[in-house]
Amino acid sequence: MSSKKDLISPDYINHRKRLKERFLINGIKASKGYEVLELILTFSIAKKDVKPLAKELIKKFKTFQGVLDAPLKEIGKVKGIGEHTAILIKLIRESSDYYLREKTLKTDVISSPAALLKYLKSTMASLKDEHFRVLFLNSKNEIIRDEIVQTGTVDETPVYPRKILSKALEANAVSLIFAHNHPSGYPAPSHHDRKLTNTLIDAAQTFSIKVHDHIVIGKNGYFSFKEEGLI
């Protein structure tokens, strides 16, 4: 026979219910980072108060973004986080990038650059090393190919114009957008960035391919060569 104590739900049960109800009514805009993590954790960790665990994740990785950007192995090292939960956290992060990428592919990225910038910031701002990305566009300014063509060290990425133009011709691209990240967080272009951009523009012109922009991404913002009148 069940005792009265057995019939009383633990406090965390009602708390989980309130978190889900708040999400259904208001979404997550008004929630704190640890509260969003709490809600995520409820779908992989049963019969446990996950608020302390959510706060521990924020403490270790500094921010909600830091948690999602952290390597899978590092997330899994947090006590109470198993492989299943770590995968769920990374799946949410990767799904966000996938969503933004699909949305961007269907957009005229020249007349409506906002979606492109969101995608580039999401996928590149937190990278630990420099990555050089090329977006290959068709005559409608839609992305037909999106490729990281080179990766490098913390502060330098070797880029080869011949390799990029070969890929552009292969994709039948009529124009290009370049993007790379600055792991330092500051997007101001270096002398090397400016020189490389001019070299790539000259090489593309040889094949009647237009360069629309070169965007430098950092955690503290972005720099657009086009917006600054450098292209």
pLDDT means per 10 residues in the chain (231 residues)?
51 82 86 92 90 95 93 94 95 93 88 92 92 96 94 71 94 97 93 94 96 95 95 90
- Report the candidate in 47, 13, 17, 49 with the shortest Cα–Cα distance to residue 34: 49
Please tell me the predicted confidence (pLDDT) of residue 31: 85
Please tell me the predicted confidence (pLDDT) of residue 159: 81
Structure tokens at 43: 């779908």
Query: 56: which DSSP letter?
Result: H
pTM: 0.79
**Angle CA(87)–CA(93)–CA(41) in degrees, nearest 5?**
55
Structure tokens at 130: 């420099």
The b/e string for 53-88 (b: 16+ C-beta within 10 A; e otherwise) is bbbbbbeebeebeebbbbeeeebbebeebeeebbeb
Please tell me the predicted confidence (pLDDT) of residue 2: 47
Kindly give, in sequence order, each residue whose CB lies less than 8 Å from that of residue 49, ignoring residues fewer than 6 positions away. 10, 11, 12, 15
Please tell me the predicted confidence (pLDDT) of residue 7: 47
Please tell me the predicted confidence (pLDDT) of residue 139: 95
CB half-sphere exposure, 66, CA atoms < 13 A: 12
Do residues 164 and 200 touch, judged by C-beta distance below 8 A? yes
Listed by start position, the domains of the chain span 11-98, 109-224
- The CATH homologous superfamily for domain 109-224 is Cytidine Deaminase, domain 2 (3.40.140.10)
* 189-213 per-position pLDDT tens digit: 999 999 999 999 999 999 999 999 9
